[in-house]
């Protein structure tokens, strides 16, 4: 891999150095160039990109994060930008245009050739987040009445601009999908064998289906591609395995960031502007500060209880932490189960009852483990308060933490967005109320 020190020539405009670097780039794999683009300065990145051959430049651009690709365009001439956008696959082009301001996207769209503009406009006509915007409209279909020889000849004639030639949907004359066949089967079959004898039932995805569940179906089925059909089962595109894998990877990155109380950066960390990093975290921090103020208010309401038993204050951080951890575990588990379609919003009662028992067992186990050390440190009465409180908070946190993702999904909100701040707010405040109420009852204060 080219190291940063070797890119010092990019700071100089000397033609000889640039020719040397262009020659060196021919020996570097595309994936290494993509990784390198995420670690170098803006100026070096633009210069490096200009040195790439046209075909490789398009491949590299398609592999870049949306934020990085947008930033890169700012360092290129208009004619270069137009050529890159023209050479992108239609689905990749739509994904990129979705990340741009509307006026910039419109300008780039108008600069496309008539054919590419029409393909792009067709995809952009489908709802955001649907498979229609992620499918490829450039595909080859074969007819069930063709022989293997005729189908192969058709592939040779029409395959130059197709997304893939290895998966071929089989359609009737009215474009209704009746099956699918792999290129390997056509190659191995006798020339006069009919395609209908070789085809198999395909996985069909509706053009309006949400992209993440559809992508998971493709990945789990481990197929090269699937046919995308309209409401009347007419073939409109292909959805490939690599696009499905990318959708799931992006979704997991987004969920991981939001579970940790931040928004995804959408570009490599080292190339992101400082303000973008701050902005991705600051909103959630304000939410959590607001949650902590509620906790302070609860403590103030029970100030008299604390004054009568100062020892109670020692265990507040532990109780809040235990409840938050149990709730976060439940929320993470159920968010993942929702993504895998193992549960649905209508299962919320079953989930709550299940998590109630899980939380009760976890809380009781933690309380029993800490009972003897607490009894030796502050006495058996307060140790009993802690045992009962941890058990109650654990039960409540798991029940609420498990139900939040399902409630969010039912409200058509991303579960990862609301789970972390809501659990933090709810468990902190309610946990303290439970703690002080149990302390009053057990200690008689």
Please tell me the pTM assigned to this model. 0.63
By the 8 A CB rule, do 81 and 73 touch?
yes
Q: Where in the chain is the domain with CATH 3.10.580.10?
A: 142-250
Q: Which range is least confidently modeled, 72-86, 97-111, 423-437?
A: 72-86
DSSP 426: H
The architecture in CATH of the region 4-127 reads Alpha Horseshoe (1.25)
Separation between Cα atoms, residue 182 and residue 198, nearest integer Å: 9
Task: Give the range with max mean pLDDT: 50-64, 100-114, 182-196.
Answer: 182-196
- Structure-token pair, residue 362: 């976890």
pLDDT bracket for residue 55 (50, 70, 90): confident
Distance between CA atoms of residues 19 and 1, nearest Å: 18
pLDDT reported for residue 329: 86
Q: Which of 351, 303, 300 is nearest to 330 (CA)?
A: 351
Q: Any residues with CB less than 8 A from the CB of 355 and at least 6 apart, and which? A: 330, 334, 398, 399, 401, 402, 403
Q: Pinpoint the residues of the chain covered by CATH 1.10.357.20.
A: 273-443
* Residue 103 CA: distances (Å) to CA of 85, 125, 134, 147: 15, 17, 22, 49
CB 200 within 8 A of CB 181: yes
pLDDT bucket at 352, cuts 50 / 70 / 90: very high
Compute the mean pLDDT over every residue in the chain, rounded to the nearest whole number. 80
Is CATH 3.10.580.10 the classification given to domain 142-250?
yes
Angle of the 241-259 helix axis to the 211-221 helix axis, nearest 10: 120
Residue entry with tokens 């498990």? 402
| pLDDT for residue 16 is more than 60 | no
Closest CA relative to residue 72, chosen from 109, 100, 43, 101 = 43
Range list of H helices, 340-414 = 348-378, 380-410
Least confident of 139-153, 197-211, 308-322, 398-412: 308-322
Half-sphere exposure of 413 (CA within 13 A, CB side): 12
pLDDT at 94: 87
pLDDT tens-digit readout, 413-433: 777 666 666 777 777 778 888
Domain with CATH 1.25.60.10 in the chain: 4-127
In percent, how much of the chain has pLDDT > 90?
27
Distance CA 77, CA 215 (A): 36
Pick the CATH number of 273-443 from 1.10.357.20, 2.60.40.10, 3.90.920.10, 3.40.1000.10: 1.10.357.20
pLDDT band of residue 112 (cuts 50, 70, 90) is confident
Which residues, at least 6 apart from 386, have a Cβ–Cβ distance to it below 8 Å? 315, 319, 367, 370, 371, 374
Contacts of residue 10, Cβ cutoff 8 Å, sequence gap at least 6: 21, 43, 44, 47, 48
CB 1 within 8 Å of CB 24: no
Assign residue 268 a region (left: φ > 0; alpha: ψ between -120 and 50; beta: otherwise): beta
CB 306 within 8 A of CB 295: no
User: Residue 161 in contact with residue 138, Cβ under 8 Å?
Assistant: yes
């Amino acid at each position: 891999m080219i190291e940063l020190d070797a890119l010092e020539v990019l700071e100089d405009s000397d033609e000889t150095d640039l020719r040397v670097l262009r020659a060196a780039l021919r020996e570097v794999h595309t994936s290494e160039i993509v990784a390198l683009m995420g670690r170098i300065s803006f100026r070096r990145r633009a210069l490096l990109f200009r040195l790439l051959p046209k075909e490789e430049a398009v491949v590299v651009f398609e592999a870049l994060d949306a934020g990085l690709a947008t930033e890169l365009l700012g360092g290129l001439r208009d004619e270069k930008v137009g050529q890159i956008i023209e050479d992108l696959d239609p689905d990749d082009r739509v994904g990129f245009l979705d990340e741009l301001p509307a006026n910039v996207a419109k300008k780039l769209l108008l600069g496309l050739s008539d054919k590419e503009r029409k393909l792009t406009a067709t995809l952009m006509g489908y709802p955001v987040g649907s498979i229609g915007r992620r499918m490829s409209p450039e595909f080859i279909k074969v007819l069930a009445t063709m022989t293997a020889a005729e189908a192969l000849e058709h592939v040779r004639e029409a395959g130059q601009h197709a997304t893939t030639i290895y998966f071929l949907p089989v359609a009737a004359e009215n474009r209704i999908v009746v099956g699918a066949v792999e290129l390997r089967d056509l190659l191995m079959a006798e020339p006069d064998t009919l395609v209908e004898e070789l085809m198999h039932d395909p996985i069909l995805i509706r053009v309006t289906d949400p992209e993440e569940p559809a992508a998971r179906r493709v990945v789990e089925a481990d197929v090269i591609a699937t046919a995308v059909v309209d409401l009347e089962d007419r073939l409109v595109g292909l959805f490939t395995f690599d696009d499905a894998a990318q959708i799931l990877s992006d979704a997991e990155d987004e969920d991981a960031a939001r579970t940790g109380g931040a928004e995804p950066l959408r570009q490599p960390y080292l190339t992101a502007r400082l303000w973008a990093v701050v902005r991705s975290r600051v909103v959630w921090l304000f939410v959590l500060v607001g949650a902590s103020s509620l906790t302070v208010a609860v403590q103030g309401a029970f100030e008299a209880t604390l004054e009568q038993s100062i020892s109670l204050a020692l265990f507040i951080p532990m109780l809040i932490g235990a409840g938050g951890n149990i709730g976060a575990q439940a929320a993470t588990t159920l968010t993942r189960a929702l993504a895998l379609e193992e549960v649905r919003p209508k299962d919320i009662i079953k989930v709550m009852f299940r998590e109630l028992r899980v939380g009760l067992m976890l809380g009781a186990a933690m309380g029993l483990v800490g009972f003897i050390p607490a009894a030796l440190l502050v006495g058996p009465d307060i140790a009993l308060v802690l045992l009962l409180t941890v058990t109650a908070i654990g039960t409540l946190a798991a029940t609420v933490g498990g139900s939040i993702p399902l409630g969010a999904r039912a409200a058509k909100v991303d579960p990862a967005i609301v789970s972390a701040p809501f659990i933090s707010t709810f468990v902190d405040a309610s946990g303290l109320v439970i703690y002080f109420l149990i302390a009053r009852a057990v200690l008689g204060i």
